[in-house]
Structure 1
């Protein structure tokens, strides 16, 4: 007699069409086709991408404030806040510098600009005048003082990430110092955070529409054919960024107990969103949720991610040194070792001075060239037309770099839940309950396991 097998309900997976990853991928492909075959239509779709990015930026300040303030208030150990910040900035300094060095080395080896033989007198300096002016007006002192907001609420009105970070830390520290008196406020903010993250889930449903409009505009406005003459630079930059992510960041991830490839797979929806919109800010709220779900504590996520968005720009740093050498090579300007070291040192400073500014990649390049007279700022006109195609790679590299930084700092603090991290990155069915889809708000674990 055969034993009776118990009825076990198989796990029900979501249909592919309900996956945010598949939806965004389909939207990017469709947007690219429309932009290529009907460029005028593609250019008219730009408002869809702009509107989605504005929707996400609308919610970034509340997400940062609620995550940081409640995280710090929950720690009560203010010395730990200082330790997390110190470790984060040490990480940022080391790996931002490594990114600059990697870009410098590969640009010297590959020499993507060699053979173009561009006459500097033939360049249109007026095309990059606005970026040079913005770089000239940006100073380290001005940048640091701009972190202090005009009022306590102005960061939420203006959407300034660093000002929001500043206010959030002060508010969280104040709640921790007050202690039990602040408990009702902390509980209220934690309840509010559930509402805000539910709002994030609602907004993320529009991600495919935003990616569709943004990518259709990019292809329609600039065209795939326009990148052919500068394809060597684009390919070199993408391959260099890939080497940095898989080689440098991959080694760091391995040394800290997780796989960079599994982390990329875990963040695939967010990476596609960054690719489609050419903005890493579009995926910031979702990144913070996923890193918490992967075992990083709220206090570390809240401090490292927003700060990294301004100070840990690995992709932008690779771009700066590589683009500067490309311009020099294209105009047959031979830079000595001393000049290249000077370029590296200036780039280290200028990349921090223009942090958080719209178009920061191009502006920091202008700021760097303005201090290194060997390479004319007007040479930036050579890469102005393809900057949009390179911005996607800058944003993707910056995004992955900040995800790795957060997990590493959390581990250095002894606060990274390794079991939860491996469950999330490994795609283990049991781990999915602890690592929810970012399209779901807090408290949706039961619903997710049934989807």
Structure 2
């Protein structure tokens, strides 16, 4: 990457961030107006359906990219490592970060919920035994998860965007390429490298639609629920976002220990995928752009291609904090006391059940619905927060993206897999990018 390319990337990223932010603000304003104009909930939902159509198309385009991009980047990365022991070291470093972050996230969620007691005072009666949350959680257990990790068909895994299954197959495929005769391996590696570049080009094209998709996503939510939803559950939402703020400080602090002052540059680059994740409440939507951002930062593709997909299944920091807070919110709302030992046990259970849930619809809600009955809490209590789940999902999703971006860069730094030349280019182009930004003042 030349200095001119780095400056061009900076300008493009800056414009995308600006337009996406404008789409977010405009979506809130338009949604508030339409919510006030709608004759009732049914009409508001009908109006929101038109916005949802745009968001659904965008997310479909993103999902179209995920499988070939994950496969190409992982296989290319492992094949370029050559030494399978290097892959093992990267995996060990990544899992060490993931497990530590999971414990911190869950513990912080329990602490915030106990400190602010967001559900206390509601004094709700226990729901009837037959009350249903509408979430399929009965099959969520460790045995099913472990068997589900290994695909019976890579075609099926790619068709359903099962990231963890694609990861497992790609590890085997990449390892196979690294040990066979180079006469046969090199042409295939070049072809897969080319596939990755093609998918990056497709990603650039799809991302041009991001501001429109963000506008549509937030407008649909506000049209149906209105701005009042932020007030009705204000204590819970406020406590949750305060907890996220503390978690961000801890994550960025850990990133500073690993990367030093360069973590500031990484956060600047991550703005665009984070805004996209926040607005659409979809980690998948931010995945392709996060890959590009990490490469621009200097993380070598073979590390990004391995660690980032792994993080999407094992490093969901925002989701784990949400699960802890949601479970205690339900207990507090129904006046059920959970002691320290029970909360600690719940933490361990969630540590296990939350792994590999990235592809499960409403995954965090499913984990909570599956866990709370084990501790005498009504699973149907999840209905209490389903009305504001979209608002909460936005926060936990953007935190997941931040955590995975920091984790991937930190692992690359520890493993000596940072491209120093490219990192210097991005640092050196920061001021030039800012100067050419649409928001920068003109110079005489």
Q: Does TM-score exceed 0.5, indicating one fold?
A: yes
Distance 1:292 1:112 in 2: 41
Distance 1:282 1:77 in 2: 32
Q: CA RMSD in A?
A: 2.5
Given that residues 70 and 186 in structure 1 are in contact (C-alpha distance below 8 angstroms), is that contact kept between their aligned partners in structure 2? yes
Shift of 1:142: 1.3
Shift of 1:149: 2.1
2:220 counterpart of 1:228: no
How many residues align structurally? 417
Cα deviations by residue, 1:220-265 (Å, 9 ceiling, x for unpaired): 122221332211110111110111111x112211111235554322
Shift of 1:66: 1.0
Cα deviations by residue, 1:299-327 (Å, 9 ceiling, x for unpaired): 21111111111110110111011111112
SS at match of 2:106: helix
What TM-score does the superposition give when structure 2 sets the normalisation length? Answer: 0.88
1:66 maps to what in 2? 72
1:197 maps to what in 2? 200
Query: CA 1:169–1:430 in structure 2 vs 1: closer, same or farther (change >3 Å)?
Result: farther
Shift of 1:153: 2.6
Distance 1:18 1:243 in 2: 27
1:442 maps to what in 2? none
Q: After TM superposition, which residue ranges in structure 1, 4 or more long, deviate above 6 angstroms?
A: 11-18
1:31 maps to what in 2? 27
1:381 maps to what in 2? 383
1:265-276 equivalent positions in 2, closer than 5 A? 265-276=268-279
Does 113-122 or 66-75 show the bigger shift?
113-122
2:420 counterpart of 1:404: no
2:40 maps to what in 1? none
Query: CA 1:13–1:272 in structure 2 vs 1: closer, same or farther (change >3 Å)?
Result: closer
1:48 maps to what in 2? 54
1:78 maps to what in 2? 84
2:138 counterpart of 1:136: yes
Query: CA 1:299–1:112 in structure 2 vs 1: closer, same or farther (change >3 Å)?
Result: same
1:109 maps to what in 2? 115
Shift of 1:395: 0.1
SS at match of 2:152: coil
- 2:352 aligns with one of 349, 354, 363: 349
Distance 1:49 1:149 in 2: 30
Does 222-231 or 207-216 show the bigger shift?
222-231
Cα deviations by residue, 1:16-47 (Å, 9 ceiling, x for unpaired): 99811121112122222222111333342111
Given that residues 259 and 410 in structure 2 are in contact (C-alpha distance below 8 angstroms), is that contact kept between their aligned partners in structure 1? no
SS at match of 2:359: coil
Distance 1:81 1:294 in 2: 21
- 1:296 aligns with one of 299, 303, 315: 299
1:303-314 equivalent positions in 2, closer than 5 A? 303-314=306-317
Distance 1:377 1:269 in 2: 36
2:104 maps to what in 1? 98
SS at match of 2:336: coil
Query: CA 1:416–1:263 in structure 2 vs 1: closer, same or farther (change >3 Å)?
Result: same
2:339 counterpart of 1:329: no
Given that residues 303 and 412 in structure 2 are in contact (C-alpha distance below 8 angstroms), is that contact kept between their aligned partners in structure 1? yes
Cα deviations by residue, 1:388-437 (Å, 9 ceiling, x for unpaired): 110000101111000011011112212224564465367535899xxxx9
SS at match of 2:124: coil
SS at match of 1:79: helix
2:417 maps to what in 1? 415
What TM-score does the superposition give when structure 1 sets the normalisation length? Answer: 0.87
Given that residues 68 and 168 in structure 1 are in contact (C-alpha distance below 8 angstroms), is that contact kept between their aligned partners in structure 2? yes
Shift of 1:329: 1.5
